[in-house]
A and B are shown apart, each in its own frame.
Chain A
């Protein structure tokens, strides 16, 4: 049981390049999330997917797109990277739909992205 996995662990991009961050979970969770973590700003929600086939914007969605490929996988795409997108990106998942542990979030190890 690997929990939440993310690839790649590190990435350096030039301004204007595109890339996709991959996330997968093996806990049969319905909901998945993408966050970015910046010094002094804390963790901010970029996009989330409450269930397979649905996605919604979070606090800072501009410059990103997401795809909920299936129940296990949720990818984050940067179409034209900018230096302001230099950050650590975390994927998370949670079981929703009832029970006391609803919404407890489990995090992946993160992707450290630098845009030059």
Chain B
């Protein structure tokens, strides 16, 4: 079974630190990799989408990379803030909409 794994499951860091969240996948046919943020009791908010041809995307303090050869994506958060506290999920998508697999998420807590 194809899987998407996120490590660590939970992370707590002091405010101001730079941090990296990891996402690994076993499906070599993954075409796009999307990162989301989910606040407690809320829906998912799209952060970044990386197509395999792009390898990297940036939005403000966020930078996401995709390495299909190693089956890994990373989300880099610079100068973390308490407002960044949330669960971060990655999802791997094939070119067909029939196969979209989510990781279980990393629960991030930024301490003031």
What residues of chain A have their CB less than 8 Å away from a CB belonging to chain B? 4, 31, 33, 40-45, 48, 50, 56, 58, 90, 92, 94, 96, 100-110
Chain A CB within 8 A of B34 CB: yes
A42 pairs with B44, CB closer than 8 A: no
The 8 closest A-B pairs by CB, nearest first: A43-B102, A107-B44, A107-B43, A104-B49, A109-B43, A42-B104, A42-B102, A103-B32
B93 and A103 form a contact (CB under 8 A): yes
Q: Would you call B34 and A90 a contact (CB within 8 A)?
A: no
User: What string of 1s and 0s marks CB contacts (under 8 Å) between B29-46 and chain A?
Assistant: 001101010000011111
Q: Does the CB pair A108–B97 fall under 8 Å?
A: no
Shortest Cβ distance from A96 into B: residue:
B97
A103 to B95, CA, bound (A): 8
Whether A58 contacts B98 by the Cβ 8 Å rule is yes
B residues near A106, Cβ cutoff 8 Å: 46
The answer to whether A104 and B105 have CB atoms under 8 Å apart is: no
A45:B100 contact, CB within 8 angstroms: yes
Residues from chain A with Cβ under 8 Å of B102 in the complex: 42-44
How near does chain A come to B7, taking the closest CB pair, in angstroms?
14
Would A100 and B97 be within 8 Å (CB), given that A42-B104, A108-B43 are in contact?
Answer: no
Cα A90 to Cα B91 in complex, Å, equals: 15
The residues of A that contact B103 with a CB separation of less than 8 Å are: 42
Q: Which residue of B lies closest to A41 (CB)?
A: B104
